[in-house]
Amino acid sequence: MRGVTLVISLALSLTLSVRVSAQTVKDPALKVQEYATGLSAPVNMAFLGTDDILILQKDDGRVRRVIGGVVQPGQVLDLNVDNSSERGLLGIALHPQFPATPLVYLYFTESSTSGDTTGSPAPLANRVASFTWNGTSLVNRAPILDLPVSPGPNHDGGIIRFGPDGKLYVVIGDLNRDGQLQNFPAGAAPDNTSVILRINADGSTPTDNPFFNQGGNLSRYFAYGIRNSFGMAFDPITDDLWMSENGPNSYDEIIVVRPGFNSGWEQIQGYEDDDLLENGASEVNLTDFGISEYADP
């Protein structure tokens, strides 16, 4: 991904069609144009203003600032990350009351050394932390969430988004584990993989989470059964949470995520009726935490 040119897509609209027909982009106003160059492995961004953007560089843990299409010298923050495979500096979100509350949240794989690493020695964790934006730099790191990192090194998720409810949604993939959260009911107990976590801005657990009354790790989950995801967004009209889910070599999915949602991995990929024909898996094979709900993409 090094040397990737950052582009911004303008006026994008998708025409959704029924399942039996192909999905196509039909907006003649769609334009893609070069906005900034000179970045190294850019993976995510957040807008401080209309033409003022913080950009994450996955492999070197640097947060860069782009103003008016010009990459500014240096960086506003440099984290020590492990960048093996899909690890690294991955996610960014601004506090809902930004800039009045000048907090910026980052998801990153923290290196166990004083520099960037690539798998060895083993990283410490996938972490979410908040930082204070002082106008030029990100300072005053505060811990929000610690997540597993092994075995990996892929399927770390990393996208974080504040919802219209003011809660922080964090997605992490399966890290190549096979437990209850990957829909093996006899597998290991919920371990903060294959989930979307829903937490308060300070890292505490909202009492209206779908599994809150079950306690433990489950209390923080909004959804589970997720292989991996590089994208979440909230519909500005309906407030619905949309997510992209990565298939192994097919079955990439676009999903509307409801509270208590079970995406079906590793038993169901794509549409349930197709999977039933291919390998005999259906909803009866999934881990059920009492109020869980599966739905096709």
Q: What is the pLDDT along the chain (297 residues), one digit of tens a residue?
A: 334 334 333 333 333 334 445 667 788 888 889 999 999 999 999 999 999 999 999 999 999 999 999 999 999 999 999 999 999 999 999 999 999 999 999 999 999 999 999 999 999 999 999 999 999 999 999 999 999 999 999 999 999 999 999 999 999 999 999 999 999 999 999 999 999 999 999 999 999 999 999 999 999 999 999 999 999 999 999 999 999 999 998 889 999 999 999 999 999 988 877 766 566 678 888 999 999 999 999
Alpha carbons within 13 angstroms on the beta-carbon side of residue 5 total 10
- Domain boundaries in the chain? 73-294
Distance CA 60, CA 186 (A): 39
Residue 7 tokens read as 């582009």
Check: CB of residue 41 under 8 Å from CB of residue 76.
no
Q: How many CB atoms sit inside 10 A of residue 276's CB?
A: 14
> Where are any strands of DSSP class E within 148-271?
160-162, 168-172, 195-199, 221-224, 231-234, 241-245, 253-257, 261-262
Distance CA 220, CA 178 (A): 20
User: 73-294: what fold?
Assistant: Neuraminidase (2.120.10)
Distance CA 228, CA 245 (A): 6
Distance CA 150, CA 122 (A): 9
Burial bucket for residue 208 (CB in 10 Å: 0-12, 13-18, 19+): exposed
Check: CB of residue 59 under 8 Å from CB of residue 83.
yes
The pTM of the full predicted model, rounded to 2 decimals, is 0.90
